[in-house]
C-alpha cells in the first residue's frame, strides 16, 4: 500500500505510541465472528508531556469524521496537550485514527479567529461583539420588514453540536420564519437520509457497528472506508484477518485499500452504480435468493421492483458499467448466499449519478433478503461528518425536528406546542429549501442575507467560480461564523469567531446512532464564543418571542437546550428522552433506538408516523398524503426502484476523461482544521492528480509531471501520481482550496464539477464530470 506522502522525520510536536501517519489503521487485533472486538489504547501527547503531567482528562469524542470515536482530552495549564481513546466505548474500543490523534492541535493554532470582523471599505476589520451582533440583528430586521423572511437564508454545518442545531432550527423557523434553512449535510448525507425515508419511512440508521462483528459478508458501495472512517476499517480489517473471515464485495472505480482486500472488486464506470445494483437485484430475484416470508409480511412494492430489474441482466449492466458480467454474478452470489450481510454506502453513491435510487436499491437488497434488525444483518447508510446525524434529527438540514413530516399538520402542531407559537408561524408549505436552491435564490437576488455557519461553500460547493461570484455580490449580505478565516469567510461582510470542539459542551451522534457527550476542556481563544451563545445572543437582539411574548430561545446552557430536545424527540423514531447528560457522563456512548432498528419488523411508514410521504425517485416529484395512503405501507417497508439513465455529462472527444474526487486519509473537508495539525499537513501538504499507468502512458505522462485537468467549467493544476484505477478515470482530492496558497495554481476540485444534483435528495453530483488532461511542466 502506498501512502499520499511520507514525512521524513518528526515534523510536529505530538508523540504517539505508533506512527499512525505511516500506518493509519494501526496494528491488527484479529477476532472471529460473534466475538468482542479487542480493545487497543491509542494515545497522542504533545512532545515532552508524559501521562503523569496531565492535570485532567476531559470526556469527549472525535469530530473529524462520522465515526465518533470516544476519547478524552488531556489538559495541562489550561491547554490541550493530547488525546487518548476510550477503551470501554462501543464505537472504537480505544482506537483513534490519524485525524483524531493529531487534529486537536488546530484548536491552539495562531490562525484562530479571536474577534468579530466587519467589512468596511472593502476590508475586514476587527469590531467588538456588541457592534457585530447589533449590525447583524439590525440588518436582519431591516430585510425582514422590507423583503420578508424569504429573503434570508441560513446555511449551516455537519460540525455543530446537537444543542446548536436545535436552537438554530427553532430560531430560524419560529423566529426568522424563513423556510431557507439547510446544512452542508446536503453535500454529504442528504441521500442517506432520503433513501431511509423512502425505504423505511423515516431517517435513522437501521444497522450498528456491532454488525461488523457478526456478519458473514460485507458489501461496500462507493465507500473507501479505509480513508473515510479509519477506525471502522480497523474493525473490518480485524474481521478480515481473523478466523471466519467474511466475504468482501467492493464497488469503487479505484483500487483503494478496501478494494485490495476484496473477494470481488467491481471497478464500475463513474455514474453507473444504479445499473450495477439493478443487476444484482435482478440476480437475487431471478435465483429466488429472496426471503419470501419477510417480503410478503413486511414490504410493499415487490412487483414494481421485479418489473424494473427484469431487463437489468448482468450482461446488460456489464455493458453499461464496463465490468465483467461474471464479476457481477459472483457478487450477487455472495450477496444472495450469505446468511448475514452488512452493507455500507458512502459518497461514491451519494455524490454520484442517480444517488437516491441507488441507495434505495441497497436498502432493497436487505429487504429482499430479510436482513435487517438482527446481529450481522444491517445496512449502514453512512454519514460523512461527525454531527451530520444531529443536523438531520434536530431540523437544521431541511427536515423538521424529530423526523417530523412537513406535510403532516399534526406534526407541525406538535412543534408549535413545544415552541409555544402558532402553527402558521412555522414554514411548512414545502420542504426546507435545499442548499443549491438557496444559492440560486442568492444568484437571482431574491435572497439578501446569507448566514453561513461552520462550513466553507466557496470551496465545497460545485462549480466554485459560480459560488464565488454569488458570494461576492454587493446585494447579498454574507455573515460567516467560523473558527478560522476560511475562503468563504474571506468573502464575507461580517465574520463571527466561533469556539469549537473542546472549548464548549454539547452532544453529538455518530453514524450508528451513538450519542456522546463532549465536555468543555479549555477556554476558547480571545473573543471566540460558542455557536450556541452567538445564536442565543443574536435571537435576543432580534427580540424574537413566542406567542406569550416570552423570549423564543430562553436557554443559557447546552444542557437546557438538550433537555428541550429530549422533550421534542420523545415518541419520535429518534427518541432521546431517556438519554440524559448524567447517563452519557456515566456510561459513555449510548445509541438511541437501541442496538438495531426494525428488529420487530415494524417500520415508521403509517401515514401518521412517516417522516415523508415519498417521491417518484426518477424525477423527485413529491407524493401527497393520498398517494401515500394508496400505497398501503402501514408499517411495512417500501421497495423503490428506477431504471438507470446516462449521467448528465459523459466523456467525449473533447473532454475524454471521467473526473472523480475524494479524500486523503489525512485531511477532512477543506482542511480548515487538519492543515493546522503539523503531522497531517506534512503528510499531505498539497493536491495531486491520480490516473492509471496505461492512461498516463497514452498521454506520455510520468509520475510527478505537473498536469492541468480541465472541464468545461474550470481547471486545476497539480502533480501526477500514477495509481491503480480504472482506465479513463481521473481522481483529484477535494480538500485543497486557496487560503494557504492564494497565489498558487488553481487546485480546488470543485472548479471543475458541474451544478447538478440528485432530483430526490438534492445532493450535488460531485463524481461525474468530463475533463481533459494536458502536461504543463514537470
Partner 1 sequence: MKPKLAAALGDLHAGEAELAREHRAVADRHAADHDVFHICHSLARQCDGHAEQIRSALSAAGHEAPEEGHDGPRHAVIATVRRKASEAMGRSDQTGALLLHDLRHLHALASDVEIGWTIVGQGAKAARELELVGLFSTGSEEVAGQLRWIKTRIKLTAPQVLTVG
Q: Minimum distance from CB of 438 to partner 1 (Å)?
A: 10
For partner 1, the closer CB: 436 or 544: 436
For partner 1, the closer CB: 193 or 756: 756
Q: Minimum distance from CB of 462 to partner 1 (Å)?
A: 10
The grid coordinates of residue 463 equal 462549480
Q: Minimum distance from CB of 570 to partner 1 (Å)?
A: 31
Residues 196, 597: Cα–Cα separation, whole Å: 12
CB contact set of 776 (below 8 Å; sequence gap of 6+):
706, 707, 708, 717
- CB 68, CB 508: distance < 8 Å: yes
Q: Minimum distance from CB of 151 to partner 1 (Å)?
A: 5
The label of the residue with cell 499537513 reads: 681
Q: What is the DSSP string of 481-533?
A: EESS--HHHHT-SEEEEB--TTSS-EEEE-TTSEEEEE---SPPSTT-B-HHH
Q: Minimum distance from CB of 620 to partner 1 (Å)?
A: 7
Q: Minimum distance from CB of 295 to partner 1 (Å)?
A: 23
CB contact set of 141 (below 8 Å; sequence gap of 6+):
542
Residues 443, 682: Cα–Cα separation, whole Å: 38
CA distances from 435 to 432, 532, 765 (A): 9, 22, 13
Residues 100, 84: Cα–Cα separation, whole Å: 9
Burial of 62 (0-12, 13-18, 19+ CB in 10 A): buried
Encode 290-309: b = buried (16+ Cβ within 10 Å), e = exposed. beeebbeebbbbbeebbebb
- CB 150, CB 137: distance < 8 Å: no
The grid coordinates of residue 58 equal 476531559
CA distances from 499 to 119, 161, 531 (A): 21, 12, 7
CB contact set of 692 (below 8 Å; sequence gap of 6+):
722, 723, 724, 725, 726, 727, 729
Q: Minimum distance from CB of 324 to partner 1 (Å)?
A: 29
Q: Minimum distance from CB of 659 to partner 1 (Å)?
A: 18
Phi, psi of 717 (to 5 degrees): -130, 130
For partner 1, the closer CB: 140 or 344: 140
For partner 1, the closer CB: 35 or 443: 443
Q: CB atoms < 10 A from the CB of 145, how many? A: 8
Chain centroid to Cα 12, Å, comes to: 29
For partner 1, the closer CB: 510 or 768: 768
Q: Minimum distance from CB of 607 to partner 1 (Å)?
A: 18
For partner 1, the closer CB: 178 or 347: 178
For partner 1, the closer CB: 618 or 699: 618
For partner 1, the closer CB: 560 or 627: 627
| Beta-bridge partner residues of 14 | 46
Q: Minimum distance from CB of 269 to partner 1 (Å)?
A: 19
Q: Minimum distance from CB of 622 to partner 1 (Å)?
A: 5
Query: Under the rule (CB under 8 A), what is the footprint of partner 1?
Result: 147-148, 150-151, 179, 429-430, 433, 436-437, 440-441, 443-446, 616, 618-623, 645, 648, 755-757, 759
For partner 1, the closer CB: 146 or 550: 146
Phi, psi of 719 (to 5 degrees): -70, 150
For partner 1, the closer CB: 233 or 441: 441
The grid coordinates of residue 328 equal 457481477
For partner 1, the closer CB: 443 or 740: 443
- CB 284, CB 368: distance < 8 Å: yes
Q: Minimum distance from CB of 434 to partner 1 (Å)?
A: 9
For partner 1, the closer CB: 360 or 483: 360
Amino acid at each position: 500500500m502506498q501512502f499520499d506522502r511520507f514525512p521524513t522525520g518528526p515534523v510536529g510536536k505530538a508523540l504517539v505510541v505508533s506512527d499512525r501517519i505511516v500506518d493509519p489503521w494501526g496494528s491488527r487485533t484479529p477476532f472471529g465472528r460473534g466475538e468482542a472486538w479487542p480493545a487497543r489504547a491509542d494515545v497522542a501527547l504533545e512532545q515532552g508531556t508524559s501521562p503523569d503531567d496531565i492535570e485532567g482528562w476531559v470526556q469527549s469524542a472525535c469530530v473529524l469524521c462520522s465515526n465518533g470515536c470516544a476519547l478524552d482530552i488531556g489538559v495541562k495549564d489550561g491547554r490541550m496537550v493530547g488525546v487518548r481513546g476510550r477503551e470501554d466505548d462501543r464505537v472504537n474500543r480505544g482506537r483513534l485514527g490519524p485525524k483524531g490523534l493529531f487534529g486537536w492541535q488546530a484548536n491552539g493554532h495562531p490562525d484562530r479567529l479571536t474577534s468579530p470582523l466587519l467589512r468596511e471599505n472593502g476590508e475586514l476589520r476587527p469590531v467588538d461583539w456588541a457592534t457585530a451582533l447589533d449590525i447583524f440583528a439590525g440588518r436582519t430586521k431591516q430585510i425582514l420588514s422590507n423583503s420578508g423572511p424569504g429573503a434570508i437564508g441560513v446555511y449551516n454545518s455537519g460540525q455543530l453540536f446537537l444543542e446548536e442545531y436545535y436552537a438554530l432550527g427553532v430560531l430560524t423557523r419560529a423566529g426568522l420564519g424563513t423556510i431557507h434553512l439547510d446544512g452542508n449535510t446536503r453535500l454529504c448525507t442528504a441521500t442517506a437520509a432520503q433513501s431511509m425515508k423512502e425505504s423505511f419511512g423515516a431517517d435513522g440508521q437501521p444497522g450498528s457497528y456491532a454488525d461488523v462483528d457478526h456478519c458473514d459478508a460485507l458489501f461496500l458501495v462507493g465507500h473507501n472506508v479505509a480513508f473515510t472512517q479509519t477506525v471502522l476499517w480497523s474493525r473490518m480489517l480485524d474481521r478480515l484477518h481473523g478466523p471466519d473471515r467474511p466475504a468482501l464485495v467492493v464497488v469503487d472505480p479505484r483500487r483503494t485499500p478496501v478494494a485490495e482486500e476484496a473477494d470481488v472488486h467491481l471497478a464500475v464506470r463513474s455514474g453507473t452504480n444504479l445499473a450495477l445494483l439493478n443487476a444484482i437485484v435482478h440476480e437475487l430475484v431471478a435465483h429466488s435468493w429472496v426471503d419470501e416470508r419477510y417480503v410478503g409480511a413486511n414490504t410493499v412494492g415487490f412487483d414494481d421492483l421485479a418489473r424494473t430489474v427484469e431487463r437489468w441482466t448482468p450482461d446488460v449492466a456489464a455493458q453499461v458499467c464496463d465490468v465483467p458480467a461474471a464479476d457481477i454474478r459472483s457478487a450477487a452470489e455472495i450477496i444472495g448466499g450469505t446468511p448475514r450481510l452488512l452493507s455500507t454506502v458512502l459518497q461514491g453513491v451519494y455524490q454520484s449519478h442517480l444517488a437516491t435510487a441507488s441507495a434505495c436499491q441497497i436498502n432493497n437488497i436487505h429487504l429482499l433478503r430479510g436482513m435487517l434488525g438482527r446481529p450481522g444483518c444491517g445496512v449502514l447508510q453512512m454519514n460523512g461528518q461527525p454531527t451530520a446525524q444531529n443536523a438531520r434529527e434536530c431540523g437544521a438540514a431541511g427536515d423538521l425536528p424529530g423526523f417530523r413530516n412537513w406535510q403532516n399538520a399534526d406534526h407541525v402542531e406538535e412543534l408549535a406546542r413545544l415552541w409555544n407559537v402558532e402553527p402558521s408561524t412555522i414554514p411548512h408549505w414545502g420542504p426546507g429549501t435545499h442548499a443549491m436552491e438557496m444559492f440560486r435564490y442568492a444568484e437571482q437576488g431574491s435572497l439578501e442575507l446569507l448566514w453561513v455557519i461552520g462550513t466553507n461553500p466557496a470551496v465545497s460547493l460545485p462549480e466554485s467560480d459560480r459560488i464565488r461570484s454569488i458570494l461576492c455580490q454587493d446585494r447579498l449580505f454574507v455573515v460567516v461564523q467560523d473558527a478560522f478565516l476560511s475562503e468563504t469567510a474571506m468573502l464575507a461582510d461580517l465574520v463571527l469567531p466561533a469556539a469549537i470542539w473542546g472549548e464548549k459542551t454539547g452532544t453529538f451522534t455518530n453514524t450508528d446512532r451513538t450519542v456522546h457527550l463532549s465536555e468543555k476542556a479549555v477556554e476558547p481563544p480571545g473573543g471566540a464564543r460558542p455557536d450556541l451563545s452567538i445564536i442565543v445572543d443574536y435571537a435576543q437582539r432580534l427580540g424574537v418571542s413566542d406567542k406569550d411574548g416570552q423570549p423564543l430561545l430562553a436557554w443559557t446552557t447546552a444542557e437546557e437546550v438538550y433537555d428541550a430536545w429530549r422533550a421534542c424527540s420523545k415518541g419520535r423514531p429518534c427518541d432521546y428522552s431517556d438519554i440524559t447528560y448524567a447517563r452519557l457522563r456515566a456510561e459513555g456512548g449510548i445509541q438511541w433506538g437501541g442496538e438495531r432498528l426494525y428488529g420487530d419488523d415494524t417500520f415508521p411508514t403509517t401515514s401518521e408516523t412517516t417522516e415523508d410521504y415519498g417521491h417518484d425517485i426518477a424525477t423527485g416529484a413529491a407524493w401527497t398524503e393520498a398517494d401515500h395512503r394508496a400505497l398501503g405501507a402501514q408499517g411495512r417497508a417500501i421497495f423503490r426502484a428506477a431504471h438507470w439513465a446516462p449521467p448528465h455529462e459523459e466523456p467525449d472527444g473533447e473532454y475524454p476523461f471521467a473526473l472523480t474526487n475524494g479524500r486523503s486519509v489525512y485531511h477532512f473537508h477543506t482542511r480548515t482544521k487538519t492543515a493546522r495539525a503539523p503531522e497531517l499537513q506534512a503528510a499531505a501538504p498539497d493536491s495531486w492528480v491520480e490516473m492509471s499507468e496505461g492512461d498516463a502512458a497514452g498521454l506520455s505522462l510520468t509520475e510527478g509531471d505537473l498536469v492541468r485537468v480541465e472541464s468545461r467549467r474550470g481547471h486545476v493544476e497539480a502533480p501526477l501520481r500514477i495509481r491503480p484505477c480504472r482506465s479513463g478515470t481521473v481522481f483529484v482530492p477535494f480538500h485543497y482550496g486557496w487560503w494557504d496558497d492564494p497565489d498558487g495554481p488553481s487546485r480546488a476540485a470543485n472548479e471543475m464539477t458541474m451544478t447538478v444534483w440528485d432530483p430526490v435528495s438534492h445532493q450535488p453530483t460531485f463524481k461525474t464530470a468530463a475533463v481533459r488532461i494536458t502536461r504543463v511542466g514537470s
